[in-house]
Amino acid sequence: MDPLEFGTSTLPLQHAPYDAISASTLAGTNKCKVAVVTGAARGIGSAIAISLAKSGADVAILDLSADALQETKGKCEREGVKVGVYACDVADEQGVIETFDKIERELGPIGVLVNNAGILDQRPYLMSTFPGFWRQIEVNFKGPLITIHTVLPRFRERGGGCIINIASRSGTVDVPMTLGYVTSKAALIRATHTLQKEMELDKLDPAIHIYALHPGGVFTDMGGTGAKQDVLDKYGDVRDEKSFMALFKDPPELCGQTCAFLASGRGKDLRGLYLDCRQDVTKLLEKGRDALLKERLNTLTVNFLEGYANEP
């Protein structure tokens, strides 16, 4: 894969938290909110939970194992907030409902949901088992839809709330050997756009604001471990390509602080859009919501041959 195939930025990208999203700027902005973060045991999910805690939110951290969440729990508690630890498979609807009910009993009404849990099996579709492929769809797409379906009626009843779906640039491009991942992330981005439109229909916009967020190039256990040996034997290791490894230069805190910013409501004009946390939110906000929507920017779309569109 040649990263240059997808274009290069002429504006500088952010590779660390900057002033608009810094912990000092956002201190206290999410106080009295309860934020749920899935896949919070390590990496990006852990950083998101810690950033939300730094901004004053009480946090409910979820992962498959409660034991795996203890390090994140300790770091969040150092910020002086309440922290709840919950073992939960986001693809299990009844388990999600029961977990969210428990969170609200123990911490209070949920005000922020960050769908971060995800998995990747890096292998060609022809070398995949179908259950292995489909499990990625279950976790990466079905899981967020379950959590959203569980929390939206509560947001509607309370008159507001924030949902952040951790998406990926992979959902906007063609990346061989990641069919389950790119498909599920593309679906999640499209769902974000559509759900915000539905909030408009029900006059819940902008009180309920929803975002799809690319977390940047973070060298996580999921993205950095590479393919299994059978795939390596046949296709080699993409991590040997300098252009591939150069993509991973961002700390998870960049995504974490962007989530804290969006949860605070300061970026509401970007609701319903697909965002890249490396792009300065102040530049996007300066462009203005009307212009972004009119020009179909930050939206998953397709370009046709000039002259072809819809019927007049």
Closest-CA residue to 166 (of 278, 275, 296): 275
pTM above 0.85, yes or no: yes
Which helix (H) or strand (E) element contains residue 54? helix 43-54
Q: Which candidate in 86, 125, 181, 274 is catalytic?
A: 181
User: Before 215, cis peptide (omega within 30)?
Assistant: no
Does 181 qualify as catalytic in the annotation? yes
* Residues making up the chain, counted from first to last: 312
> Tens of pLDDT along 45-96?
999 999 999 999 999 999 999 999 999 999 999 999 999 999 999 999 999 9
CA separation (Å) from 93 to 62, 74, 271?
A: 14, 28, 26
Give the fold, CATH level 3, of 11-294.
Rossmann fold (3.40.50)
Phi, psi values for residue 112, rounded to 5°: -140, 135
In the chain, which stretches have pLDDT less than 50? none
264: its two tokens: 């605070």
CA distance 211 to 165: 6
Where do the domains of the chain lie?
A: 11-294
Which helix (H) or strand (E) element contains residue 87? strand 83-87
> Tens of pLDDT along 191-227?
999 999 999 999 999 999 999 999 998 976 655 567 8
Report the SS3 class of residue 163: strand
CA distance 162 to 102: 19
